[in-house]
Amino acid sequence: MTLRFASLGSGSRGNCSLVEFDGTLLMVDCGLPLAVVEERLAALGRDPRDVTAILVTHEHGDHVQGVGPFARRYGTAVWMTPGTASASRNVRGPKLLSSHRGLTIGAIAVEPYPVPHDAREPCQYAFAAGGRRLGMLTDTGFITPHICERLAACDALAIECNHDLEMLRRGPYPESLKARVASRYGHLNNGQTTELLSRVRHGGLQWVLGLHLSETNNSPAQARDALAAALDGGEHAVHLAAQDTATDWLAVL
Ligand SMILES: [Zn+2]
Ligand SMILES: [Zn+2]
């Protein structure tokens, strides 16, 4: 029994991740078209009916567009905060969670926590199972002490490397969108990710996975550098998620 994580795809065009332990398979967000999610699940050796529940982080389309279609086709339970539910009209009858209270789904303890982002009531999640702990963070404008607390003492981390600030500044986005992305309710830039990792890293951290890379305002090489910079290039493995392909399963040993 091993806690494991996979990204089915991550970026501004859609996000969907999996967390698995001992027969419990949680999907975090479903922001890709249903057919794509089905195909990438199959590539990882899983059937949509294996998914125990979907946890939603917030109502932006790149996280929620596939949730309603997936849940309706497969009868999957969906969990989200009341604020996210109020803004996610294509999801019928979601179960409500508090971003300040943990819950257990099957064999996995789920710890939601609130983050600053321009959505109604966004949250992110940490997971614990089999004595291991995995922290996840995307769609966050700045690092709060509470985020550091939630992501400390994790054995593995899957975190946002959205943009390089200089590439965003010089890039093609309209000024209003540039301001939104870089704001305190936007997305983490590479420098913020390095800063976060330098605060929560410890000798037992097994790997970090970069999520939600912008295809316009970041490059895989820069994101990889941002993650590696905080880890002293030591034994920690660095992985990157991509928009158009799934990662392999990443085990937390
Ligand atoms: Zn997003
Ligand atoms: Zn968002």
DSSP state letters, 187-225: --BHHHHHHHHHHH--TT--EEEEE---TTT--HHHHHH
- Which ligand is nearest to the Cα of residue 117, counting in written order? 2
Going by their DSSP bridges, the two strands 3-9 and 237-240 should be labelled as unpaired
Determine the average pLDDT of the residues in 210-228.
96
- Which ligand is nearest to the Cα of residue 59, counting in written order? 2
Distance 1 CA to ligand 1 centre (A): 31
Determine the average pLDDT of the residues in 67-89.
97
Integer CA distances (angstroms), 221 to 2, 218, 227, in order: 30, 9, 10
Distance 58 CA to ligand 1 centre (A): 8
Q: Count Cβ atoms below 10 Å from residue 102 Cβ, excluding itself.
A: 14
Determine the average pLDDT of the residues in 17-33.
98
pLDDT at 233 over 90: no
Round to whole Å and give the CA distance between 70 and 37.
9
Residue 162 burial class via C-beta count within 10 angstroms: exposed 0-12, middle 13-18, buried 19 and up: buried
- What's the whole-model pTM score? 0.97
Round to whole Å and give the CA distance between 125 and 237.
21
Over the stretch 128-179, which tens digit does the pLDDT of each residue have? 999 999 999 999 999 999 999 999 999 999 999 999 999 999 999 999 999 9
Query: Quick check: helix, strand or coil at residue 132?
Result: strand
Distance 172 CA to ligand 2 centre (A): 20
- Which ligand is nearest to the Cα of residue 11, counting in written order? 1
- Which ligand is nearest to the Cα of residue 243, counting in written order? 1
Over the stretch 96-140, which tens digit does the pLDDT of each residue have? 999 999 999 999 999 999 999 999 999 999 999 999 999 999 999
Distance 188 CA to ligand 2 centre (A): 11
Distance 60 CA to ligand 2 centre (A): 5
Residues 6+ apart with CB under 8 A from 34: 66, 69, 70, 73
Distance 105 CA to ligand 1 centre (A): 24
Average pLDDT, the chain: 96
How do the residues of the chain divide into helix, strand and coil, expressed in percent and rounded to 5? 30, 25, 45
pLDDT at 235 over 70: no
Structural Rg of the chain based on CA atoms: 17
